[in-house]
Each structure stands twice: as C-alpha cells, then as structure tokens.
Chains A and B, each alone.
Chain A
Amino acid sequence: MRRVPGVSYGLDVTNTPESSRGIELRALSKSYGEVKAVRSIDLSIPRGETLALLGPNGAGKSTTIDMILGLTRPDSGTVSLFGSTPADAVDAGLVGGMLQAGSLLSYLSVRELVAMVASLYPHPLTVEEVLELTGISDLADRSTTKLSGGQSQRVRVAIALVADPELLVLDEPTAALDVEGRRDFWSSMRAVAASGKTIVFATHYLEEADAYADRIVLMARGRVVADGPPTEIKGKVGGRTIRATLPAVAVADVAALTGVAHVEQHGDTFTITCSDATSSDTALRALLSTYPGARDIEVRGAGLEEAFLNLTGDDTNESDHGAT
C-alpha cells in the first residue's frame, strides 16, 4: 500500500523556496504505446491561481491532469504539489479532483454521499459548509440519481471540495452540460475561486477559459503552445474565418485585400483567414466593395483546432497523434 495515513507530509514553509510551494511540473512526459500524449511539459502554478488548460480533444489535457492527481505515473519528469508528491498530497487531503465523465453513487442522498466522502479525510469541511459553498444546500436530501446534469456536476464539485483542499482540479467540468448548465456551474464556482484555492481546470471552450481563469495554458498535441493571461491568448487564437463564393476571381487578388492573412480556394469557394475580429471586419468590407457579386458569405470565429494549427505551424500529416 503506497499510502501511509496519519503521517504528516510537512510543508516546511521556512526552508522551502517560494517557487516550490505551488504546483510544479518539470519535463513531464507520458506515452501510451506509440501515442505521445504529453511531451515534456514544464509548468509552475503559484498558490491561489485559477489556471485553464485549454486545448482540443487529444491535446493531452486529461493525461496532464491525471499525472497531477497521481492517477497516472509519468514516463519521465516530476510533479510537485506544494512540495509533496501527488500521492502524499492526496493523503494529506490537499487535493480535490473532479474527473471527466462518471456518475454518482446510487442509493444515497446528496448529503449522505458528501458525508461518506468527507469521512475519508483527516480534516474535512462540514457537509453543510460544502453544500453552501457549492450552492446545493437545497438539494441535500435529493437522491443522487434524481439530479440534472448541472446539479450532479455541482455535487461532484462538493465531493472534490469537502476535504477543504488547497488544490482543486476539474477535468472538463462542463463538457456534458448545456449552455445554461454551464453558466450555473461557473456562477457557483466563483465562490470557490474567491476562497483562495488554487484551481486547475481543463476545457476546450475558449470563452470559458477566458471568463474564469487568471491564466490560460494552451495545449496542442501534448505540448504547451502558449501560456499567458486570457487577453493575450484570446488575441492568439481568436482569429476569424470568412467563407464566400466568388465566381471567376483569382486567389492572389483576394489575398491582396486589407486584413486578409491567408486564403484558400476550392472551386469558387474561398476561405479567408484573418488574425482577429478587427481585421476580419476590414477584410469583409474590402471584399464586398471589390466583389459585389460575392454570395453565401459566412463569418465565424476560427475553431480552436485551426487556431492551434496556425499557432504551432503543425500540419495534419505529422505521424504521431495526441491522446485525450
């Protein structure tokens, strides 16, 4: 048995350099057979920060999270949580996690389930406190099998929080929710973030990362491709795409329009990439005045996947693939 309950894993504040007291990932790598899920990630997360791991499916977010939680052993590299190993931090009740997918134990009320999990920890919050914090006090006596998607996600957060952890890890917490459920979920998370906990969450929604994180780490194909405050990341991945049908027009002429970053042609259909909203507005005006015959016009935010490809300069025929 790897765990030794009752032993204190001292966080010697006086002798520990400031940098090692948050979360430190050093040269972290993990492969599943031929698939390189995570390739040498370095990341420092100071205490109290809310960090979003943003990336498309297969970027390596879940694998990274599993390694932070000690569920997956890295092939190489280290994870340090407040100066301890993940296993020791988990035993000390410093870590709360909400994993992807999964449902709640049946034949229990919400209150009973939270109390059951609380009983495993050395110094848990009271059940009432954690239900209050996650905004589900009114669901306390409801059976765990009679909850909406959004409600059960909040119960799962309560389960992750009942240890009163320093670090809260959420793996795509809103993936299964509709727009309203997502909004409800995050509004209840504000109180948690305000309580000073370090929060790491994975998502593939840019809006979500932008709205709720202090910092966004962008992952693609197992690597960190960008790391910075939301405004900065948004500028990098917030490109727009214009599609239009333009009969008998040359690619070079379209590419020459102001605001246009890149053009592709398929028959009469042109796909025009612009770096941000302002330049796509400019490009669209130029397009319409130059080619009044343009039709089937469609403007949309570039998908994360495309944005990542632009950022990394990778093309799709790279031989190795990511993993979830």
Chain B
Amino acid sequence: MRQLTYVRYEVLRTIRNRRFLIFSLIFPLILFYAIAGEHRHATTDGISFPLYFMAGMMTFGSMTAIVSSGGRIADERSIGWTRQLRITPLTTSTYFTAKLLTGYLMALFSIVILGLAGTTLGVRLDATEWLTMVGLMLAGLLPIAILGVMMGHLVKVDSLGPALGGITSLLSLLGGSFGPLANSGTLLTIVKFLPSYWIVQAGKSALGGGGWPAEGWIVIAVWTVVLVRATAVVYRRATARVR
C-alpha cells in the first residue's frame, strides 16, 4: 500500500515532464496521423496499413516511455537522491519495482492513446484481439524496460537522453516500426532477433486471437535473461562507487 503512494508520485513526476510527453505520446501520434492518414486503404505486411503502422508507433512510443525510467534513475543518482533513499526503509527491490511499474504505466498510456487514434483511422479489432495485442506488447517490452534500468546505471545523465533516444529509434526502425525492413531473406532473419520486431508484430499476430510463434517468445526470453544478468553486473559496479 505504501509503495503505491510512492509509485503515484513517481507517475506524477513523469507526466509533468513535458519532453517525455512529447516524445512518448505526441510525436508517435503525429507520425501516425501524418503517415497512416495518407495510406488508410493500403496494405502492408499482409495487413491493413493503419493497423500495421499503429502497432509500429505503439512500439516506438511505448519503448520511449519505458526506457525513460532509466533517465529518472540516472537523474536520481546524479543529484544524490539514491543515497538519500538508502537511509529510508525503501528496499532496493521496491525501488526498481516502482521504476518498472511507472515505466509500464507510461507505456500502456502510449499504447492506449495510439489504439484510440487507430480506431479513428478504421482499425477494427475485437476485444480479444485488442487484449492479445496489448498483452504481447507488454511482454515484449520487458527486456526494453530492463535495458532502461541498465542504461540508467551505466551512462551519465547528460548523455543518457541521446543514448536512449538513439537506441529506441534504432530498435524501432530495425524492428519495422516505420514499415517492414525486409519481407524475406537474411535481413529478415537478423531483425527477427530483435525484441522490437516482435513488439511491432504484435498487431499482426493478434489478428484472429493468435499470438507469437515460439520463436518470438524465445527471443524475448533470451533478451530478458541476458539483460537481467548484465544489469546485475552494472548495478553492482555502479553502486560500489557510491560510498
């Protein structure tokens, strides 16, 4: 219960950050209308373009939203707030849970807004399909969320914004947020190793209430495990220096 109050203020802080709102919500929304509006009746990757591009922008927006917790971690470390928290009863696991939860809430916010925008451009899914798509996206975002936490302990606050922006943009682009990078061949094989590919594919996979093939789950699981391990190492190194 006490943690919920903490998360509530965490969310409040995030929403008040105008730059965050622009990049995770407004920017993908504008792109969606600008591009999908032009191609309402086109088809991409075997599905309607607005559905494909909605999923693409959801990927971009939600990834931007979820890695931003890394930015907040780096900021709190740089201003000495992390040290201040260490002399409160807040445990390290609650701290990270709050950060992940906040990141997920923001990501969900971005997904919902773009979902609503999608319906205005004729995206029609039934309830099961909507839920499946959102569920798959949230699962696919797990390694990205952990990546944010890791970067927050690895990169100085000054360079973290561009670093996170660069990584999410690149992952979005390669994953097919702005249109499929490849429909077959080696490039497709390569991008299938990226979690962002599977988040974008959540739109298509959800049609008819299906899900990812096993391949998708394995990619997400492997990234998650690897990043958790790496984050543990980075975290131990970063906190050893705080004396």
Residues of A within 8 A of B (CB): 1, 3, 5, 32, 66, 69-72, 90-93, 95-97, 99, 101-108, 112-113, 115-117, 119-122, 159, 163
Contacts and interface: CB of A to CB of B under 8 A. Distances in A.
A237 to B, nearest CB: 29
B88 A163 contact: yes
B89 A5 contact: yes
B184 interface: no
Nearest to B85: A120
A102 B81 contact: yes
Interface residues of B, number: 27
A117 B16 CA distance: 19
Chain A binding surface SS class: loop
A33 to B, nearest CB: 12
B236 interface: no
Chain B binding surface SS class: helix
Nearest to A105: B81
A91 B88 CA distance: 7
B159 interface: no
Nearest to A165: B87
Top 8 nearest A-B pairs (CB, nearest first) are: A102-B80, A119-B5, A116-B9, A107-B13, A107-B16, A97-B87, A103-B79, A120-B88
B121 to A, nearest CB: 33
Contact of B17 (A69, A97, A107, A116): A107
B12 A107 contact: yes
Contacts of A105: 13, 76, 79, 81
B89 A90 contact: yes
A32 B241 CA distance: 11
B218 interface: no
Contact of B83 (A3, A71, A121): A71
B6 interface: yes
A97 B87 CA distance: 7
B57 to A, nearest CB: 26
Contact of A121 (B17, B76, B89, B242): B89
Contacts of A159: 84
Given A99-B80, A102-B83, A116 B6 contact: yes
B87 A71 contact: yes
B91 interface: yes
A121 B88 contact: yes
A39 to B, nearest CB: 17
A97 B84 CA distance: 8
Contact of A102 (B2, B84, B86): B84
28 contacts: A1-B91, A1-B93, A5-B89, A5-B91, A32-B243, A66-B243, A69-B87, A70-B87, A71-B242, A90-B87, A90-B89, A92-B89, A95-B87, A97-B84, A97-B87, A99-B80, A102-B81, A104-B79, A105-B13, A105-B76, A105-B79, A105-B81, A106-B75, A116-B5, A117-B88, A119-B5, A119-B9, A121-B88
